[in-house]
A and B are shown apart, each in its own frame.
Chain A
Amino acid sequence: MCHGILKEKGVGMMHYAWLIPVFPLITFLILLVAGRVLKEKVAYIGIAGLALSFLLSVLVLLERIGGETYTYVLNWMTVGENVVTMGYEVTALNAMMLIVVTLVSLVVHIFSKEYMKEDDRIHVFFAYLGLFSFSMLGLVLAPNILQLFIFWELVGLCSFLLVGFWYFKPEAAAAAKKAFLITRIGDVGLLIGLVLLFNRVGSFNYAEIYTAVEMDQLSAPMITTIALLIFLGAVGKSAQFPLHVWLPDAMEGPTPVSALIHAATMVAAGVYLIGVMYPLFLASSTAMTVVAYTGALTALFAATMALVNNDIKRILAYSTISQLGFMILALGTAGYVAGLFHLMTHAFFKALLFLGAGSVIFAVHHRQDIRDMGGLWGKMKVTSVTFLIGSLAIAGIFPLAGFWSKEEILASTLINGDGFLFLIALVTAFLTAFYMFRLFFKTFTGEFKGGDLNDPTEETFNEQAAWEATQSAEVGLDAGYEERKVYPNHQEVPENEPRENAGLMTFPLMVLAVLAVIAGFINAPFLGHQLEAFLTAGLNVGTQPHGALWLAFLSVAVAVAGISLAWAMYVKGFIREDFFSSKAPSIHKLFQNNYYLDDIYLAVFVRPTKEISLLLWEMDKTIVDGVITLIGSLTSRSGKAMGKHQDGQLQTYGLVTVFGGMVVIGLAFAVRGYFG
């Protein structure tokens, strides 16, 4: 079972892959110790750490392309006959993930330097970002599922910390708790799955799990059970139905965090988990069906909710859920490469869209309602153009990144799935194009509807105002914050119109825009499906489905139809904006209220839990605590009563002693008889 301490297949850059997560860890530690002193300079340390990680990731990827999987493990502990190991591994999949994570994290660090510059806790922010990058990279490099689980929990913690970064806003604190608790449901499933797996296979290592599945060491029901439990973990982390409700609320965190954690990396960890456990899923058709349908339903439902939302970040959040559903759908229909390919392209264009949204929010002084935007095209050149590129990419327009990956997912559902799944995927693709361009047109075209940005009486949804309201309501909660200006506000901007942000914010947009354009080519058919060859080499994940040419045309046609409809409604006004909502107000309301899922959860889970907790609390207070209090008060009362007789009088003591002695002697006589 134990396979040696070192499994070396050529030592080179890959041997130093362990350094990739170590750099962000070091920046985290530096900022933890010296963050307060360094103040604004913390950003440079964070950026430097991630830049080193990114460079090393590139070197590792380059070496991995020509080489083989590199594994380095040390024995951690022995459980009975089984050895649990710790180490790192460079496979094709995680070499790709390393690039995605370090690159997105790097650009988010650069973006945050400008975005968070006014926040007094910027050093804490960058420290958390470092910790998150470390955890995410550790998750990716893990050679066994136990190590993955440890980092899996760490990224969950970082998500909690960063969503609740502005903890003085009650919504942010609530959202952080919600995100943590709901993903916890999935984590419990994952943990049970791990334990079952170790119990049956005797190892956590991916390689040995694959072998065990291939050798039929596991019974079919057991494989299905384990696969579904592991999938439950992915459902929680990747915000799939029915555990998706935390992700829209997680938008209360700073926008760079939404881009990094809740769009590109952490939420993709669920997809990655299915990816590394893929042989297990392939062995159970039941599990695959569940995965496919969960993904499809999530994709569709989330897209419908994105249609009617007006908060720029929430639209993107629903879009993320929907796109993650696409990935899961692809994996559930045997499209291993399609799902992971979409993971990568989505990471780039969704990070781009989120950072673009962050740039917009920054420029319009922290408003998020798209009804208060509009007309930003001329005012924010770089943001507008890059946002358009991102929107085209996610809509799946040829030849941008989203086109290639979405087309493969459609192919996968058509060939390995059933007609129903294909239909859902197609409808979702249409909706995706529509809601993205509804967002784009409302934000960037037409007239600016935000009014005077410096007018304090302007009554719009305004984070700044919301924050000030909570701040005045909670004076004394954190007295130190009263004097400090902790929230990014931009009163020094002289114009009362939105304008383009500084280069540090637009540069990341440009980098990601370039990637959103070209990233798709690495798996383009006319270039020979390079990514597929790379990812599937030496892995038994089945043959990858490829669509015919008509499918490509169909997917572009669907996207164009969605864009045209948005254009007709929100630019030209051929169709009134409330055309659909007035025709079917109940459906509109259903979408707007997220299918009442939050209310259902509140009524079914949260309230009863609270009631039961209150009841138990009462029981604890009266019965359990009551008994303890009773014993305590009895002791102290009897002590007081007896104490009164300790009067310090020698002769009283003497008298009591004499009586006591007489009683003892009397008892002895009574029991034993006179003189024995």
Chain B
Amino acid sequence: MVSITLFLALAAILFCIGLYGVLTRRHLVIVLASIELMLNAVNINLVAFSAIGPFANITGQVFTLFVITVAAAEAAVALAILIALYRNRNSIDVLKHDLLRW
């Protein structure tokens, strides 16, 4: 039996890579991809607990399906926004969009 710790460690590593990408990449599409990475890290957690957690049951897997669905919707909306942004401002560099500053 594989220890649950290994799954959690993998999820944590993935989450941190995603977070790092979100906070450092300048290209907005990469930022979006990094967010997907973070969501999937969460999914690994959910599936792991669902299969071999102390109170293993099907709920975790159901939630994972939900997360995947919402993530798909989110990606669609976010990409649409990105296209609109690019058409208006001719750039999708995250550093160049700072209209809401003090």
Contacts and interface: CB of A to CB of B under 8 A. Distances in A.
B1 interface: no
Contacts of A649: 94-95, 98, 101
Contacts of A650: 94, 97
A651 B101 contact: no
Nearest to B26: A651
10 cross-chain pairs, A with B, having the tightest CB-CB distances, nearest first: A648-B101, A648-B98, A646-B102, A643-B102, A648-B100, A651-B23, A647-B101, A655-B23, A654-B23, A649-B98
B94 A647 contact: no
Contacts of B19: 658
Contacts of A643: 102
Interface in A623-660: 643-651, 654-655, 658
B99 interface: yes
25 contacts: A643-B102, A645-B102, A646-B101, A646-B102, A647-B101, A647-B102, A648-B97, A648-B99, A648-B100, A648-B101, A648-B102, A649-B94, A649-B95, A649-B98, A649-B101, A650-B94, A651-B22, A651-B23, A651-B24, A651-B94, A654-B22, A654-B23, A655-B23, A658-B19, A658-B23
A55 B12 CA distance: 106
A648 B96 CA distance: 10
B92 to A, nearest CB: 12
A658 B16 CA distance: 11
Interface string B1-41: 00000000000000000010011100000000000000000
Interface of A: 643-651, 654-655, 658
A648 B97 CA distance: 8
B39 to A, nearest CB: 15
A51 B100 CA distance: 77
Given A646-B101, A646-B102, A649-B101, 19 more contacts: A643-B102, A644-B102, A647-B101, A647-B102, A648-B97, A648-B98, A648-B100, A648-B102, A649-B94, A649-B95, A650-B94, A650-B97, A651-B22, A651-B23, A651-B24, A651-B94, A654-B22, A655-B23, A658-B19
Contacts of B97: 648, 650
A661 to B, nearest CB: 11
Nearest to A658: B19
Contact of B98 (A645, A647, A654, A658): A647
Interface string B78-100: 00000000000000001101111
A649 B23 CA distance: 10
